[in-house]
Amino acid sequence: MEHLDRRLFLKRSGAATAGTLVSSPFIARTSRQPSPGNTVNVAVIGIRSRGRDHIRALAEIPDVRIATLCDLDPRLLPAAVAEVEKLTGTRPSTETEYRKVLEDKDIDAVSIATPNHWHALQTIWACQAGKDVYVEKPVSHTILEGRKMVEAARKYGRVVQTGTQARSNWGTIQAMDFLKQGGLGEIFMARGLCLKPRGSIGHVKDSPVPGGVNWDAYLGPAPYRPFNENRFHYKWHWFWDTGNGDLGNQGIHQADIGRWALRKMSHPVRIQGIGNYFVWDSDQETPNIQHLEFEYDDGRILQFEVRGLGTNSEGDVRIGNLIFGSKGWMNMASEDEGVCQTHYSDIQITPSGFSDYEETEGPRFDNDDPGSRDAVVNHFTNFIRSVRSRKWEDLNADILEGHLSTSLCHLGNIACRLKRSLQFDPLTETFTGDPEADTYLTKAYRSPYDLPEKV
């Protein structure tokens, strides 16, 4: 199951999409294969919070021009324009309509930091328009969306990077190379941890749309609902229409690292999980406590836990991973700390028949290399280099990697919502003999924001 990309394209039966096929006005006549000029012109889409990180990272890369800032909330634009001008000495243009950005022939790439429910359509449209894409995690809102994103990237020859920046973190890269070389022996289990306490968002009444905000476009493919501050900036993560809970918000990073450590380029075949929303009384729909287990076809296990309330750490890790092998284990802190500590385990049987256990510390990996930079800057640098070379294979987190890791979040959420164990077919990307579970592979799209059957 390790060569999912080719086999899925050849053998995939495909789940039906709820949307009707709509011809995109942005389908390029031909794919733009030549490398762009010395300067790569980038448009940042979504400029609040994570979008600011995109701006600051791109500003550090030579010969990159932040040409356009686009956001549906025009109140955010003046401050963002001023920051770009301060960082780069150039003043970007602004736009509130994403489609107009794609019509701009001078834009080489788009950097997407919008809510999850928009990622797939914006990425597919950009590929069709001949733009390269950096898209934030999780790359999709459903499993079918992720597959369509991979198809679009390959069909139009686009470079599409997933925003899982731990893939470009120096300490994590060293640790993964250590594991690949057998430093901890046979890796049989990885455990991802998102132990991130969050408070209540409370109950908020619907209210008038803020001046200038295009609420209809903000909702896009999601069902129409009256404006509500709890469904707007950042808090959209906690509603199924637009987000995927903390499993898709923070947890995607650790799910990706866990799969990376197991060296899996396929989906799991069995998923089980439980989860609920505890303690707070609020509008939130997604769980704040989740316990998940994914089993691959060779029996290897990826575990994941979300604890969004007060909690202890595990192995000195609150947000990160624990990796278990035949020679010992490794605790991996989040990419912000970038520290990976190995522990060698010695288990022996005593003459009396009991097991005797001793543990010693092994190599430590971190970001102490003087030439290493912030993981986000490294990740964008890798993206820009691949844009210039036209080799998507050089990406640290190609869209296929993003699809496989994001699908773990979707599968875990589906298991929690159905409250039962699930069997999954990695080749068809459908559940085995479970029509009810298959309904969660896609969603209903609000016209005209339909997911195309063919990209």
Q: What is the pLDDT of residues 287-339, one digit of tens each?
A: 999 999 999 999 999 999 999 999 999 999 999 999 999 999 999 987 566 68
Of 188, 417, 193, residue with least CA distance to 304:
193
In sequence order, the 6+-apart residues with CB closer than 8 A to the CB of 132 are 108, 109, 110, 126, 158, 159, 160, 383, 387
Query: Higher model confidence: residue 26 or residue 120?
Result: 120
Give me the residues paired with residue 346 across strands. 358
pLDDT of residue 37: 59
Q: Is the pLDDT of residue 32 over 90?
A: no
Q: Is the pLDDT of residue 439 over 60?
A: yes
pLDDT confidence tier of residue 354, bands split at 50, 70 and 90: confident
As a whole number, mean pLDDT of residues 93-98 equals 98
Of 370, 377, 373, residue with least CA distance to 56:
377
Is 0.85 topped by the overall pTM?
Answer: yes
d(CA 12, CA 445): 23
As a whole number, mean pLDDT of residues 91-112 equals 98
Please return the burial class of 140, using the count of CB atoms within 10 Å of its CB with bins 0-12, 13-18 and 19+: buried
How high is the mean pLDDT of the chain? 91
As a whole number, mean pLDDT of residues 390-404 equals 98
Of 112, 44, 47, residue with least CA distance to 78:
47
Q: Is the pLDDT of residue 26 over 70?
A: no
d(CA 186, CA 328): 9
pLDDT confidence tier of residue 348, bands split at 50, 70 and 90: confident
pLDDT confidence tier of residue 366, bands split at 50, 70 and 90: confident
**Segment 268-289, tens digit of pLDDT:** 999 999 999 999 999 999 999 9
Q: Is the pLDDT of residue 16 over 90?
A: no
Of 234, 209, 197, residue with least CA distance to 46:
234
pLDDT of residue 145: 98
Q: Give ∠ CA 99-101-106 in degrees, rounded to 5.
A: 140
d(CA 166, CA 409): 17
**Segment 119-155, tens digit of pLDDT:** 999 999 999 999 999 999 999 999 999 999 999 999 9
**Segment 172-207, tens digit of pLDDT:** 999 999 999 999 999 999 999 999 999 999 999 999
As a whole-number percent, the residues of the chain with pLDDT over 70 amount to 90
Q: Is the pLDDT of residue 28 over 50?
A: no
Q: What are phi and psi of 430, to 5 degrees?
A: -135, 160
User: Tokens standing for 94?
Assistant: 């602004």
**Residue boundaries of the structural domains of the chain:** 9-167+374-399+432-441
Q: Is the pLDDT of residue 22 over 80?
A: no
pLDDT of residue 338: 66
| Residue 92 CB neighbours (<10 A) | 24
Query: Residue written as tokens 């770009």?
Result: 84
As a whole number, mean pLDDT of residues 82-89 equals 98
pLDDT confidence tier of residue 219, bands split at 50, 70 and 90: very high
d(CA 435, CA 199): 36
Beta-carbon-side half-sphere exposure of residue 236 (alpha carbons within 13 Å): 17
As a whole number, mean pLDDT of residues 57-83 equals 97
Q: Residues for the chain: how many in total?
A: 455
Look up residue 324 and give its amino acid: F
Q: Is the pLDDT of residue 29 over 50?
A: no
CATH topology of domain 9-167+374-399+432-441: Rossmann fold (3.40.50)
What b-and-e string marks burial along 189-211, b requiring 16 or more CB atoms within 10 Å of the CB? Answer: bbbbbbbbeeeebeeeeeeeeee
